Amino acid sequence: MERRRRPGRPSSPNGLARSRSPTPTALEVKASAPAWAHIQQIIDSGGQIMLGTVAPIRGAAVAHDGRKTLAMLRRRPGEAIQELLARLDAAIATATSTGKRVDEINVGASDTRYEL
């Protein structure tokens, strides 16, 4: 019995062709992992990373290592999530190397305010 080719996917209801983004391979994901190595280290060691709203601040990024909060960043206007994550990773590195919290949320009560 011969195999038949299946017909292609039908176009979407609006008539535009659907584009499928390729799923990244494990090698590609592993290659991009060092970009946020400090975030990965916090998560692997049982800490927490939080992105979201910390009322009244919409767009906060917080890193906690399980014992203390290392960084609290405020998302800048027009800043992409990837840029916020890159700044969070750099803030974690600064906090772990200096021992001082990086805080853009509680500016008056923070140890240090860095412009990353």
pLDDT at 2: 66
Cα 8 to Cα 102: distance, rounded to the nearest angstrom? 53
Q: Which two tokens stand for residue 99?
A: 């021992």
What percent of the chain clears pLDDT 70, i.e. is strictly above it?
A: 63
> What are the start-end ranges of the H helices in 5-107?
26-32, 37-44, 81-98
How does the average pLDDT of the chain come out, rounded?
77
At 50-83, the pLDDT tens digits run 999 988 889 999 999 999 999 999 999 999 999 9
pLDDT at 26: 44
Please state the domain extents for the chain.
36-109
Cα 113 to Cα 80: distance, rounded to the nearest angstrom? 21
Nearest in space to 41 (alpha carbons), one of 32, 49, 51: 49
Q: What is the DSSP string of 92-115?
A: HHHHHHHS--EESSSGGG-SB---
